[in-house]
Amino acid sequence: MNHINAYHAGAAAGAAAATICVAARCGAQRRLDSVLTGLAGSPGRAAAASGPASGQQLAGKIALITGGGTGVGKVTALAYAAEGAHIVLAGRRPGPIEEVAAECEALGVQALAVPTDLGDPKAVEALFAACKKKFGRLDILFNNAGMGAPSKPLEDIEFDEWNAVVSANLTGSFLCTQQAFKLMKSQSPMGGRIINNGSISADRPRPNSSPYTATKHAISGLTKSTSLVRQSLQ
């Protein structure tokens, strides 16, 4: 498992201190712990009068979760919502993310489901525009969406199989990170947290898993590179 946190705290044009944190790690509880440790109490949008209770550690924060309709993405969305975060859910299929959005709203927060092809730059741009339009800012991005390929020897992998995994696991995370940086740098207070979904496969790959393993190695590199870009805010 990879765990990289890169913190920056400083003043932006005389504004309050800003923080952008970048992490790649595994486990829904660790993701929640990571956010609670680094983000709770940082500058952010105050909860609306009808929003979550002030005792919640993410009260009023805005979290965007890709692949949020099932599995780890769903569990993380509900965990964040239980801590008071408003949720934006992205995924290819409308049904699952709309169902999770309804579950989040039942916990007393606002939620937005945006069907998105994360490998499409225009679709990702529209996703973040929808987030900004509804909530005005973004505090947490969880790059969770991903997929595997059929287990087969490297020489038998079809290009379309390879390309689908790269698009879902790597290109989508890059495009979302790019848009998140643009929004987090432009908002006031500036800053936020980006979490990339890593995998043990980045260090200990399984046989016949070349596309998945390659993308998880790449996610570690993307996380480290994003951390270096973050330093430009200092």
Q: Give the CATH number, domain containing residue 84.
A: 3.40.50.720
Predicted pLDDT at 1: 30
Lowest mean pLDDT among 22-31, 68-77, 102-111: 22-31
- Is residue 19 in a domain? no
* 212 tagged catalytic: yes
Average confidence score pLDDT of the chain: 79
Residue 83, sorted as left (phi over 0), alpha (psi -120 to 50) or beta, turns out to be alpha
Per-residue confidence band for 198, with pLDDT thresholds at 50, 70 and 90: confident
Lowest mean pLDDT among 22-26, 48-52, 223-227: 48-52
- Is residue 35 in a domain? no
Residue 149, sorted as left (phi over 0), alpha (psi -120 to 50) or beta, turns out to be beta
Q: Hey, what's the torsion of the CAs at 75, 77, 81, 86, to 10 degrees?
A: 180
Predicted pLDDT at 53: 55
Q: What are phi and psi of 72, to 5 degrees?
A: -60, -40
Mean pLDDT is highest, among 12-26, 65-79, 204-218, for 65-79
**More confidently predicted of 25 and 31:** 31
Predicted pLDDT at 231: 61
Q: How far apart are the first and last CA of the chain?
A: 28
Predicted pLDDT at 46: 33
Lowest mean pLDDT among 58-67, 175-184, 188-197: 188-197
- Is residue 40 in a domain? no
Give me the catalytic one of 212, 213, 214, 219.
212
Predicted pLDDT at 13: 22
Q: Is 207 exposed, middle or buried (0-12, 13-18, 19+ CB in 10 A)?
A: exposed
- Is residue 129 in a domain? yes
Predicted pLDDT at 10: 27
Task: Specify the DSSP element, H or E, that contains 19.
Answer: strand 17-25
Predicted pLDDT at 47: 35
Its pTM surpasses 0.75: yes
Q: How far is CA 71 from CA 12, 20, 76, 112, in A?
A: 38, 26, 9, 18
- Is residue 17 in a domain? no
CA–CA distance, 38 with 30 (Å, rounded to integer): 12
- Is residue 30 in a domain? no
Q: How far is CA 75 from CA 5, 70, 213, 222, in A?
A: 22, 8, 24, 24
Predicted pLDDT at 22: 52
**Does residue 44 surpass a pLDDT of 60?**
no
Q: Is 186 exposed, middle or buried (0-12, 13-18, 19+ CB in 10 A)?
A: exposed
Are 144 and 172 within 8 A, CB to CB? Answer: no
- Is residue 51 in a domain? no
Domain of residue 216: give its range.
56-233
Q: How far is CA 10 from CA 13, 103, 168, in A?
A: 10, 37, 34
- Condensed to tens digits (0 to 9), the pLDDT of residues 119-169 reads 999 999 999 999 999 999 999 999 999 888 888 899 999 999 999 999 999
Number of domains into which the chain is organized: 1
CA–CA distance, 130 with 152 (Å, rounded to integer): 39
Q: What are phi and psi of 192, to 5 degrees?
A: 165, -165
- Is residue 18 in a domain? no
Task: Report the share of the chain in percent with pLDDT over 70.
Answer: 74
**Does residue 181 surpass a pLDDT of 60?**
yes
**Does residue 29 surpass a pLDDT of 80?**
no
Q: Could you identify the residue written with the tokens 């993380």?
A: 76
Which ranges of the chain does DSSP label H, i.e. alpha helix?
Answer: 28-39, 71-82, 94-106, 121-135, 159-166, 172-186, 210-230
CA–CA distance, 151 with 157 (Å, rounded to integer): 9
User: Once rounded to an integer, what is the mean pLDDT over residues 64-86?
Assistant: 96
Other C-beta atoms lying within 10 Å of the C-beta of residue 136: 12
**Does residue 20 surpass a pLDDT of 50?**
no
